[in-house]
Every structure is written in structure tokens, then in C-alpha cells.
Amino acid sequence: MVVSITRMRIRRWWFLPAFFLTSLRAARQAARAEGNVATSLLRERHRVFWTRTLWASEDAMKTFMHATPHGPAMRKLLDWADEASLVHWTQDTSDVPSWEEAHRRLQQSGRLSKLNYPSEAHNAFRVPPPVVTATSQTHVK
């Protein structure tokens, strides 16, 4: 199994409507994609969003990543986000990792995404742990 974690902070509130619409489309796409085992979203304060997906194979994950609407959405994040990072890892089980484990892995072996307007926190790779509440997460699949 391949786990994929992303974290992004949308830099201005006026990007949020387009980001929400694009994110919902991409989440539905992921949930329906061949090889997707699980898809979860986490919303935090200050325009911070996490994704957590579990895939049967790296090929399935890459096929999803490049397909529409996700592929074009990644290019929009160059301008929409001021913080963005990601991490992928393989595991033997189909257990969905906790958000705390996602954060630990992101800090341990994650990488920064290229952005046109990176924040100081982005450049320093400062990623606070996620704040998870009962209403902040959505399990799409």
C-alpha cells in the first residue's frame, strides 16, 4: 500500500471558493479512482488543509495525480498556496495512518512543493501538528 499525505495553506481568503470547488472534485475523483483504498480531508484554521489517501499501488496513485481535475489543480496551487508539502510512503497493511503519524512522516521525510509566493514558514519547513476535531475531518472513502 502507498500512503500519500499533503498539507497546504491557502494564502488569501479570496482563493478559497475556487480551492473548495476544486478540492471537492479532486476528492471525489480520488475516491472513485482505481486502486484508491481510502481518502480523507482535514480542515484547520488559518486556511490550512490536509489530504490523506491510501493506494493499492504507486501506479494507481500517479495515474490519479496526473488526471483531471487533480493534475490541473496542482498547478493552480503554485499561486493559491503559500505553504505546501507532501510525503509518500509504503506500508504492508491497509490501515489508514493517524493524522499525527502523517505529521510525523511529513516532518521526517516530506518535501516542500514549489510555490510562487512561499511564506517564511514554508521556506523553513515549519509544519505545526494538525489540529483534529470531530468536525474538522471528512472521510470521503
pTM score of the predicted model: 0.93
3-state secondary structure of 82: strand
In this prediction, residue 38 carries a pLDDT of 96
Q: Of 1.20.1260.10, 3.30.70.100, 3.50.50.60, 3.40.50.1220, which CATH number belongs to 2-139?
A: 3.30.70.100
In this prediction, residue 137 carries a pLDDT of 87
Q: What is the CA radius of gyration of the chain?
A: 14
Cβ neighbors of 132 (< 8 A, separation 6 or more) are: 42, 99
Question: pLDDT category, 127, cuts 50, 70, 90?
Answer: very high
In this prediction, residue 74 carries a pLDDT of 85
How is residue 38 written as a grid cell? 481510502
In this prediction, residue 138 carries a pLDDT of 85
pLDDT tens per residue, range 61-97:
999 999 888 888 888 999 999 999 999 999 999 999 9
Q: Residue 139: is its pLDDT beyond 90?
A: no
Q: Which amino acid is at 30?
A: A
For the chain, the domains span 2-139
- Residue 16 phi, psi (nearest 5): -60, -45
Measured over all CA atoms, what is the biggest interatomic distance in the chain, rounded to whole angstroms? 41
pLDDT tens per residue, range 12-64:
999 999 999 999 899 899 999 999 999 999 999 999 999 999 999 999 999 99
